Structure 1
Amino acid sequence: MKFLRIVFRVLLGLLVFLLLFLAISLAPVDETPYREMPYYAQTKQRLAMLQVPPAGRQPLRAGWAKVNITPSYTTPTGGYGERLGKHWKIISDSIFVRAIMLDNGGTKVAVIALDLVITPPTVAEALKKRLPEVGLQWENLYMGAIHSHNSIGGWAPRLVGQLIAGSYDEKIVTLITNGILAAIRKAQSNMAPVQIGFGETDATDLISNRLSSSGPTGPLDGKIRLLELRKKSGESALLCSFAGHPTLFDGDNSAYLSRDYPGSLVDRLEKKSATFALFLAGAVGSTAPKPRGKTDFQEIRNYAGDLAIRIERTMPTIQTHPDSTLSILTLPLGLREPNPRVIGNWRVRPWLFYALYGDYPSDLKALRIGETVLLGTPCDFSGELAAELHPLAAKKGLHLMVTSFDGGYIGYITPDRYYDRQAYEIRDMNWFGPYNGAYFEEMMAGLLEKFN
């Protein structure tokens, strides 16, 4: 009997502890409309205060460069899912930082593309401290990633970061940061006047909407968008964006370090279409590629080839011209408290979320180069939401490129009408609660309106 009483007390103590833990760890989802929240008013005020830089004092100059940051040692694989931080063993593709430096005499901007799954928030924080080494500030930087799920990991501390990118190693953060600064320096060293031109072609048939399995969905943004910069010497840079999710390497193929199809694409473009090519993942939230091929390697080669053929057909239609217009805006985003759902409509409280993930600032970025505007988001941004923004840009006579992964990372931003669906992008990866689709669209539209 004494033994049973001890067991009963232990079980009762565990039950009380569990109930107390749940009480302090969980709370109902906050469904207050976003326009009634303090963070909305704060962000709206910041948006109103943003000023577009004055017109340039000289013709637009540009330079470009890439730096190989492939580690000399194996690292965890950054890319979610079955990889779970397993170390890659075979280098299928080298990993690069690519940079385009722009200057019109009044504004300087560096466009950075990382061959990673996202722009690590730890790297963004390191850059904010070190960018003065190359004469820039965070507000001069437009960042993105190719979103390969088989690239370098190890750049995120805490539990959630380790699930995404494996065990944390500060040396990897330094390696990536040093690579970015080196690429900017190299790009600054070869700047010359450029003419610019825009082109686009459709590739909607190469992607599908992953949310269609949970119910009806709307149209995706399936355009390949191209911004060409051409020097008098004939050298050219091609900035390319597309919304196909780079997941052609299966999760069980984590032994390979790879840039997936974006790496194969820029390699081909640099052989046939431009001196230098840079790829930024577009609105990849909820999109899936439609592959063809018997192996992952064939799928990557064929997918990149399909995109390249369409780009090569479009290139002769792009007419470049002088234009010194260059502006960049950075909008710090206020956000609702973290609302990642775990059981029904119950979510993790902020203290636990921050303990598991960290608390990183996030921005929206808007970069205008001539008549083209790039809108950068700190997330996997929905291809459906991006499709809804393009008519507004067209009314203003602007070409629009929406990109993901500009610095901080806040999960997926999807249309609010899907919030109650049972889908990975919505249940597992929606970290900041309801109404963020409308909130992001409103703030991104506000940034577009700044460019009169």
Structure 2
Amino acid sequence: MKFVRIFLKVLLGLVILILLFLAVSLAPVDETPYQQMPYYTRTKERLTQLPTPPAAKTPIRAGWAKANITPPYSTPTGGYGARRGKHWHVVSDSIFARAIVLDNGSTKVAMIGLDLLITPPTVVEALKKRLPEVGLRWENIYTGAIHSHNSMGGWAPGLVGQLIAGGYDEKIVTRVTEGILAAIRAAQMNMAPVQVGYGEVDASDHIYNRIGSSGPTGPLDGLIHLLKLKKASGESALLCTFSGHATLYEDSMWNYLSRDYPGSLVDRLEKKSADFAVFMAGAVGSTGPEARGKTDFQEIRNYAGDLALRIERTVPEIQTKSDSALSILTLPLDLREPHPRVIGNWRVRPWLFYAVYGDYPSDLKALRIGQTVLLGTPCDYSGEFVADFKPLAAKKGINLMITSFDGGYIGYVTPDKYYNRTTYETRDMNWFGPYNGAYFEEMMMGLLEKIKP
């Protein structure tokens, strides 16, 4: 009988502890409209206060270079959480940091393309300290990533970082940072006047909407977007963005370090379409690649090969001309409290989210190069939003390229009408609550208005 009383007391104590933990760890989802929230007011004020871009002093000059950042030792594979931090051991293809530096006498900008899953927030923190070494600040940087799920991990501390990118290794952060700085330095050594041109080609048959499994969805951005820079010498660079997730390797292929299809595509472009090429993931949130092939390696060759063929037919038609318009805007984002949902409409409290993930600043970016504007987002940004920007872009007379992974990472941003769907993109990876879609659209359109009055 005494044993039973002790057991019941211990059990009661455990129940009380669990209830107390739940009370301090969980809270209901806050569905207050974003326009009524303090974070909206603060970001809106920052947007209003952004300076007018300075007038150009010269036509655009540009230079480009890359640095090999493949580590000399095995690292965790950055990508699928299902891989649980397993290390790759075979280098299928090397990974790089690529830089295009542009200058019009008043503004200098470096575009950075990384052969990684995302632009790691830890790397951004390091860059903010070290960019003055190459004459730049974070506000002069536009970054993107190829979003390969088979690239180098080890760049994110914390429990969530462990799931996404494996065990943290400070040497990896340093290696990526050093590679970016080396690419910028080399690019600055070969700058010359350039002509600028834009092209696009449809490849919507190569992607599908993963949220479609839960119900009707809207159209995605299925265009390959191309920005061409050409020197008087004939040397050219090509920036390519596309909204297909680089996930052609299956979970079981964690043993390979690879750039997935973007790497194969860039290598092909540098043989036939440009002297230098950079790929940045476009609005990839919820898009999957339509794979064709019996093995992952065949799928990558086929996928990249068909995209390359379409690009090769388009590039000769791109008309380039001298232009002096160059400007960049950085908008620091305030966000709703973290809202990862765990049980029904209950979400973890901020202290717990920050304890397992970290608290990283995030920005929206806008970069104008001639008559093309790039909008950068710190997330997997849904391709369904792109159609909403087309009327404003047409009114402004600009070509628009929207990219993901510009620095911080806040999960997925998908249309608000899908918020209560029980899909990976809308539930597991929506970390900052309802109305993020409308909030991002408003701020991004505000940036578009600012950078191209």
2:86 maps to: 86
In the alignment, is the contact (CA less than 8 A) between 1:52 and 1:328 conserved in 2? Answer: no
In the alignment, is the contact (CA less than 8 A) between 1:81 and 1:251 conserved in 2? Answer: no
1:370-385 equivalence runs, <5 A = 370-385=370-385
Distance 1:55 1:238 in 2: 25
Q: What is the SS of the residue equivalent to 1:245?
A: coil
Instruction: String of CA shifts for 1:168-189, please: whole Å, max 9, x gaps.
Output: 0111000101110011001011
Instruction: String of CA shifts for 1:204-248, please: whole Å, max 9, x gaps.
Output: 111000000000000001100000000011100000000000000
In the alignment, is the contact (CA less than 8 A) between 1:28 and 1:346 conserved in 2? Answer: yes
How far did residue 339 of structure 1 move? 0.6
1:407 is the counterpart of 2:380: no
How far did residue 390 of structure 1 move? 2.2
- Which amino acid counterpart does residue 418 of structure 2 have in structure 1? Y
How far did residue 43 of structure 1 move? 0.6
Distance 2:325 2:80 in 1: 39
How far did residue 12 of structure 1 move? 1.1
In the alignment, is the contact (CA less than 8 A) between 1:82 and 1:252 conserved in 2? Answer: no
Distance 1:439 1:82 in 2: 31
Distance 1:125 1:105 in 2: 27
1:438 maps to: 438
Unaligned runs of 5+ in 2: none
Instruction: String of CA shifts for 1:297-331, please: whole Å, max 9, x gaps.
Output: 00001000110000011011101100011000000
- Which amino acid counterpart does residue 287 of structure 1 have in structure 2? T
Q: What is the SS of the residue equivalent to 1:177?
A: helix
Q: What is the SS of the residue equivalent to 2:322?
A: coil
2:50 maps to: 50
1:154 maps to: 154
Q: What is the SS of the residue equivalent to 1:291?
A: coil
In the alignment, is the contact (CA less than 8 A) between 1:154 and 1:167 conserved in 2? Answer: yes
2:17 maps to: 17
Alignment coverage as a number of residue pairs: 452
Distance 1:51 1:302 in 2: 46
Instruction: String of CA shifts for 1:310-355, please: whole Å, max 9, x gaps.
Output: 0011011101100011000000011000011000000000000000
Distance 1:363 1:225 in 2: 22
1:130 maps to: 130
Q: What is the SS of the residue equivalent to 2:142?
A: strand
1:343-362 equivalence runs, <5 A = 343-362=343-362
Distance 2:45 2:200 in 1: 34
1:96 maps to: 96
Query: What RMSD in Å do the two structures reach over aligned CA positions?
Result: 0.7
How far did residue 83 of structure 1 move? 1.6
How far did residue 9 of structure 1 move? 1.5
1:176-325 equivalence runs, <5 A = 176-325=176-325
Distance 2:247 2:390 in 1: 26
1:169 is the counterpart of 2:132: no
In the alignment, is the contact (CA less than 8 A) between 1:264 and 1:304 conserved in 2? Answer: yes
Distance 1:99 1:308 in 2: 21
1:390 maps to: 390
Q: What is the SS of the residue equivalent to 2:87?
A: coil
- Which amino acid counterpart does residue 393 of structure 1 have in structure 2? A
Unaligned runs of 5+ in 1: none
Please identify runs of 4+ aligned residues in structure 1 that moved more than 2 A. none
- Which amino acid counterpart does residue 15 of structure 1 have in structure 2? V
Instruction: String of CA shifts for 1:340-387, please: whole Å, max 9, x gaps.
Output: 100000000000000000000000000000000000000000000122
Distance 2:360 2:151 in 1: 22
In the alignment, is the contact (CA less than 8 A) between 1:153 and 1:166 conserved in 2? Answer: yes
What TM-score do you get using the length of structure 2 for normalisation?
0.99
In the alignment, is the contact (CA less than 8 A) between 1:285 and 1:381 conserved in 2? Answer: yes
In the alignment, is the contact (CA less than 8 A) between 1:52 and 1:327 conserved in 2? Answer: no
Q: Percent same amino acid at aligned positions?
A: 77
- Which amino acid counterpart does residue 406 of structure 1 have in structure 2? D
In the alignment, is the contact (CA less than 8 A) between 1:220 and 1:383 conserved in 2? Answer: yes
Distance 1:82 1:297 in 2: 20
